[in-house]
Amino acid sequence: MSYKRREIPVVITAALAILVIFEYFFKWQDATNVSVRAQGWAVILASFAIGIGVVSTTIFHIRNVMGRVKKQWYLSAWLVFLMFATIIIGVGLGPDSSSYKWMYNTTINPLNATISTLLTFFGFSAAYRSFRARNIDATLLLVTAVIIILYVVPLGELITPSWSFVGNWLTSYPNAVVGRVLYATVVMGSIALGVRIILGYERGYLAGD
Amino acid sequence: MTNEKKVEEKSGLSLPKLDERVIYWALVVLLLLPFFVNMGIPLPLSPMTQEFYDYVDRLKPDSVILYSVDFGPGSLPEIEGSIVAVSKQIASKPIKVVIISVWEPTAAPVNEEKIVSVFKAAGKTYGVDYVNFGFLPGGEGAVARLADDFKGILKVDYYGNSIEDLPMMQNIKDATSFTMVIDGGFPSWLYMRQNWVPKYNIPLISIEAAGSAVEVRSMYPFSLKAILGGARAGAEYEVLIKSPGVAKKGLDSVTFGVILFVGTIALGNVIYVRSRRKK
């Protein structure tokens, strides 16, 4: 990778990162103005990513249609048709139009819910096959899971009022403590990664390097 | 073939002999039953649900809240009761609401269907009492920018109206213009927690699915002041706002599903233990 394609992006990234960090901790209006503008660019870039997603999806599926890929091309054609119909109606008539709402409520809404629900069935099947008290560790996990499952519905409290206390204790103490440790380590890792990016050691975001 | 598999098959009690279709059909029947028959399962009120309710209830007139909800249609069976009930409580108070989603692109139509419709039914005026900004792309960066310069990033609402034409938005500058953030969904609460709470000290309460509610519990009561978790909380909230809805029936359905879930796990373990003893 050439000098221009490696060092310049690293310098820009480091400068912006230092600016945003500096602005977060110190009140300096000029830094805030630049930081806010830079974050605005990030939002614009993210919006572009949606457009790139549409383009790459279209290219992939149009190729399937053009190549008459077996058992695939007609599904690809249907996908492209629906995607552009949604975009045209959504952009053209607005998201509060009855046509757009009808499309959403009669297709995306029930289909999305159906996919999620199917996972429940697979989860049931997997649970009864694999959730076994094979050893002490697995037994501990099993017992805790059953306590929490019965805690999040009123069933546990109907068995005994103490169930709520046990469930609350498990989520408030062992669970919360482990969660805090997890988040703390993630933050420490993120800081280390940030420092590596600022110093130019981490260049994974530069294509081809 | 593993040793456990061999043991199970020799004992004649191997798990695969229980046809999956039996479990699936039992689940279908148990999940549907509460929607046709009133099961009358008692519902004790959780302290956490009461705490969430009190936070919203204490909001003073003309408070402005950011209502950031990121549930797609797949989450609705579990979470619909919560967001509708909370929206009804908010709509019953003289407070101003900014609706947005920052993580899940499919959440904007859900918010339109489940939140905006509640405000309309309550007679709230768009642009004066509430504003809907739909989905804001950009993840955490966008949420950080919202906190620093709200109007710098949002120029139009979900319906294409200029932000300058919305009376309610005239006094909104940055995070300091808001009294509280009600977040719904994982991990958008994390964006809010990191960019709205420490820097601007805005109270954050969160609506979560049952699984996420356990996970975000680690942030309670420090950066998350209250959590409304899962179908149960939605059903409890309906009781609190005295407006029965779908959540209670949904919770009864989930409860029956859980009975089968725990039952099948127990069955699997009984068969497993008996297999081991026979060996």
Q: What pLDDT score was predicted for residue B5?
A: 58
* Burial label, A58 (beta-carbon count in 10 A; 0-12, 13-18, 19+): middle
- Torsion angle of alpha carbons B244, B247, B250, B254, nearest 10°? -130
pLDDT, one tens digit per residue, over B199-223 is 899 999 999 998 888 888 888 888 9
Q: What is the pLDDT along chain A (209 residues), one digit of tens a residue?
A: 566 777 888 899 999 899 888 888 887 888 888 888 888 888 888 888 888 999 999 999 999 999 999 989 999 999 999 999 999 998 898 887 888 888 888 888 888 888 888 888 888 878 777 888 889 999 999 999 999 999 988 889 989 989 999 998 999 899 999 999 998 999 999 999 999 999 989 888 776 55
| Closest approach of B160 to chain A, Cα-based (Å) | 8
Interior angle at CA A89, CA A83 and CA A90, nearest 5:
85
pLDDT, one tens digit per residue, over A83-142 is 999 999 988 988 878 888 888 888 888 888 888 888 888 888 787 778 888 899 999 999
Residues of A with Cβ-Cβ distance to B265 under 8 angstroms: 127-128, 131, 142, 146
Task: Report A:40-59 residues touching B (Cβ under 8 A).
Answer: 40, 42-43, 45-47, 49-50
Quick check: A172 and B224 in contact, CB under 8 A? no
Task: Report B:121-140 residues touching A (Cβ under 8 A).
Answer: 134, 136-139
ipTM reported for the complex, 2 dp: 0.80
The beta-carbon contacts of B226-229 under 8 Å, at least 24 apart in sequence, are B226/B48, B226/B51, B226/B52, B226/B54, B226/B55, B227/B48, B227/B52, B228/B48, B228/B49, B228/B52, B228/B82, B228/B86, B229/A152, B229/B48
Which structure tokens are listed for B112?
């339109």
Nearest CA in chain B to A154: B43
Q: Where are the domains of chain A?
A: 134-200
% chain B with pLDDT above 90: 54
| Closest approach of A107 to chain B, Cα-based (Å) | 11
* Burial label, B74 (beta-carbon count in 10 A; 0-12, 13-18, 19+): buried
What is the C-alpha separation between B113 and B117, in angstroms, rounded? 6
| H or E stretch covering B147 | helix B139-148
User: Which of B217, B219, B232, B255 is best to mutate for the A interface (most A CBs within 10 A)?
Assistant: B217
% chain B with pLDDT above 70: 94
User: Which of B101, B126, B261, B279 is best to mutate for the A interface (most A CBs within 10 A)?
Assistant: B261
Task: Report B:93-112 residues touching A (Cβ under 8 A).
Answer: 105-106, 108-110, 112
Interface contact A73, partner B, CB < 8 A = no
Mean of the per-residue pLDDT values for chain B? Answer: 89
Strand partners, B99: B67, B132
Interface contact A192, partner B, CB < 8 A = no
Q: How many beta carbons lie within 10 A of that of residue A147, not counting itself?
A: 16
pLDDT, one tens digit per residue, over B63-99 is 999 999 999 888 888 899 999 999 999 999 999 999 9
Residues of B with Cβ-Cβ distance to A125 under 8 angstroms: 20, 23-24
Q: Has residue B3 got a pLDDT over 60?
A: no
What is the C-alpha separation between B3 and B40, in angstroms, rounded? 46
How many Å separate Cα A47 from the centre of its chain? 16
* SS3 (DSSP) at A134: coil
pLDDT, one tens digit per residue, over B215-261 is 888 888 889 999 999 899 999 999 999 998 888 888 999 899 999 99
